[in-house]
Structure 1
Amino acid sequence: MPEASPSSKLVEFKGGKISVMNAYLRETDAMKLADALHVMLGGMPDFFSGEAAVLDFRDLAVTPDRIDWTSLLSMLRRYQVQPIAVRNLPDHYAASARQAGLALLTGEESDGGIPAAPPPPRPTAQPAPQPAAPVVAAPAANTMVIDRPLRSGQQIYARDTDLVLLAGVSHGAEVIADGSIHCYGPLRGRALAGARGNASARIFSMNFGPELISVAGVYRTFERGIPEAVGAKPAQVRLGGEGDKQNLVVEPISLG
């Protein structure tokens, strides 16, 4: 048999999996989106830590004659979002999106056949905690259990289930669950429960001190510090209010 030439092994293509989040855009103006991101992320420019993203335009409210892809992509990259593709893009934008180096996707699955990560939390006012009797929900039967500490830059996503964390979550780490999140170690990173809209999901922590929390897309950051009533103490997070006036309630858990 003839020997393979050295150049034939300089590149190989193999199947693989990659975690990709969806960014649902309702606006294409880079300046307006930059203002919204600044408010949403509490001024944290490195929140996304270089995560790959698919830009989804299914909720686009207004369709301008053209999209300034250069400005839009540059703005997202300043927030360390790395756009790699678009989905649900009106046809008349397709050619310019390709020229900008973006792939055109169809369907709800990302390339590689894995589910895309849920959309970023939507902004809402930061409410004061409201008194209510805490109710600790039992984890679902098919709960995902993580027994190791999560370090900065690591991400865990529990699809269609609860997430139980037996060790801590460090600053810069992120945990996401379609159900509730139960953290038995220090919660110091970002925790997003009810990621696909489950309004009954909750976040439970035995040592509360996160950077950001979210339930069903309603979020709250703590750039001004953790409230003394729950800081480094057992606490739960749930949705309060109704309709568009929903807000996050953060309250202590009594273990006595």
Structure 2
Amino acid sequence: MHAQWHALLCALSNGRSETALSSQTLPETFRLRAGNFNLLVLRLLDPRPDAVLPALGDQFRKAPGFLRFAPIVIGLQDLVAAPEDVDFRGLIEGLHALEIVPIGTTGGTPQMRQAATAAGLPPLRAAGGKEVDAEAAMAAAPQGASQAASAPQAAPAAAAKPGAAAQFRGSGRNALLVTEPVRSGQRIYAEGADLIVTATVNPGGEVIADGNVHVYGALRGRAIAGAQNDSEARIFALHFDPELIAIAGYYVVREGLGDAPIGRPAQVRLDGEEMRFGPLG
């Protein structure tokens, strides 16, 4: 009997040792980290999904793939309606049918946010605990914005003519250099930086920068500059033939380019809420 008890105690002891050892050597399965992301905001002006969704579908059919499976925030700050009059579940289902993924809300009254949360759209909050507004959601990186605002001023440029006193301010941003062609379905994002592409951006490809976008080749895909709501950002291309261009959230699809210099060197800037196109040089 003593021998049997001794054997059992040894087995239990060995089992505890093996369990303790295995718990120490289990592989790490996940990590939680905070992160900042640039998100588009769909600011509702009408509470009816059957009014919003068809208009939204018409817009995005002009730029196929632009928002396919993209996360989007629902802006409630401009919505004048009672919470019970907003069909959040119908809106979510309709957005999913358009292959757009709503992930939360911003703005709105506490009652409106509560109704959205009940439908599966939680309010998004900034790191300080305050409600995210549309501009903050588009920027989604306050550190980068503050760094850009505090960028040192460049030394005054040499005067082109006597008496001229022009001064120029550098962007203070780094640049991401891409030397390979951007393929269809490929998306490249220069966070907190300008983006320089020395090859072609093919149809279906997408180049995004918080600063300027430079394409020293053919721009045949989509180009998005000023992704952190920088309205001073510009788009430059040696061969301008894009599917879509956007600056600081304002965009134009191919059909709306009008008198833009298609097929030629061009630069694009934002003037208020209007796109302006001009030649290079």
TM-score in terms of structure 1 length? 0.70
Query: 1:21 is matched with which residue: 12, 27, 39?
Result: 39
CA contact (8 A) 2:139 2:229 kept: no
Q: Aligned partner of 1:98: which letter?
A: T
Larger radius of gyration, structure 1 or 2?
2
Q: Aligned partner of 2:173: which letter?
A: N
Aligned residue runs from structure 1 range 19-98, under 5 A: 19=37, 21-27=39-45, 28-41=47-60, 43-44=62-63, 46-57=65-76, 59-66=77-84, 67-98=86-117
The answer to which structure has the higher helix fraction is 2
Structure 1 counterpart of 2:121: 102
Taking every aligned residue pair, what percent have the same amino acid on both sides?
32
Which structure has the higher relative contact order (CA within 8 Å, separation 6+)?
1
- Displacement of 1:72 in angstroms is 0.7
Cα–Cα, structure 1 residues 98 and 65, in superposed 2: closer, same or farther, change >3 Å?
closer
Q: Aligned partner of 2:66: which letter?
A: F
Cα–Cα, structure 1 residues 89 and 13, in superposed 2: closer, same or farther, change >3 Å?
farther
Structure 1 counterpart of 2:220: 188
In structure 2, the gaps of 5 or more residues are 1-16, 129-135, 141-167
Structure 2 counterpart of 1:129: none
Root mean square deviation of aligned Cα = 3.6
Whole-Å separation in 2 of the counterparts to 1:138 and 1:150: 31
Structure 1 counterpart of 2:156: none
Q: Secondary structure at the match of 2:123?
A: strand
Output one character per residue of 1:1-58: Cα deviation in whole Å (capped at 9) or x when no partner: 34489xxx8994323568562324132322332244245435445431211223233x
Aligned residue runs from structure 1 range 1-256, under 5 A: 1-3=17-19, 12-15=29-32, 19=37, 21-27=39-45, 28-41=47-60, 43-44=62-63, 46-57=65-76, 59-66=77-84, 67-107=86-126, 140-147=171-178, 148-223=180-255, 230-240=261-271, 243=272, 246-254=273-281
Cα–Cα, structure 1 residues 22 and 248, in superposed 2: closer, same or farther, change >3 Å?
closer
Cα–Cα, structure 1 residues 204 and 190, in superposed 2: closer, same or farther, change >3 Å?
same
CA contact (8 A) 2:39 2:73 kept: yes
CA contact (8 A) 1:54 1:83 kept: yes
* Segment drifting more, 146-155 vs 37-46: 37-46
Structure 2 counterpart of 1:133: none
Cα–Cα, structure 1 residues 118 and 156, in superposed 2: closer, same or farther, change >3 Å?
farther
Whole-Å separation in 2 of the counterparts to 1:98 and 1:229: 44
Whole-Å separation in 2 of the counterparts to 1:229 and 1:43: 17
Q: Secondary structure at the match of 1:105?
A: coil
In structure 1, the gaps of 5 or more residues are 110-114, 120-136
Aligned length: 225
* Segment drifting more, 35-44 vs 231-240: 35-44
Whole-Å separation in 1 of the counterparts to 2:81 and 2:233: 35
Cα–Cα, structure 1 residues 81 and 138, in superposed 2: closer, same or farther, change >3 Å?
farther
Q: Secondary structure at the match of 1:37?
A: helix
Whole-Å separation in 1 of the counterparts to 2:219 and 2:188: 14
Structure 2 counterpart of 1:131: none
Cα–Cα, structure 1 residues 180 and 44, in superposed 2: closer, same or farther, change >3 Å?
closer
CA contact (8 A) 1:150 1:169 kept: yes
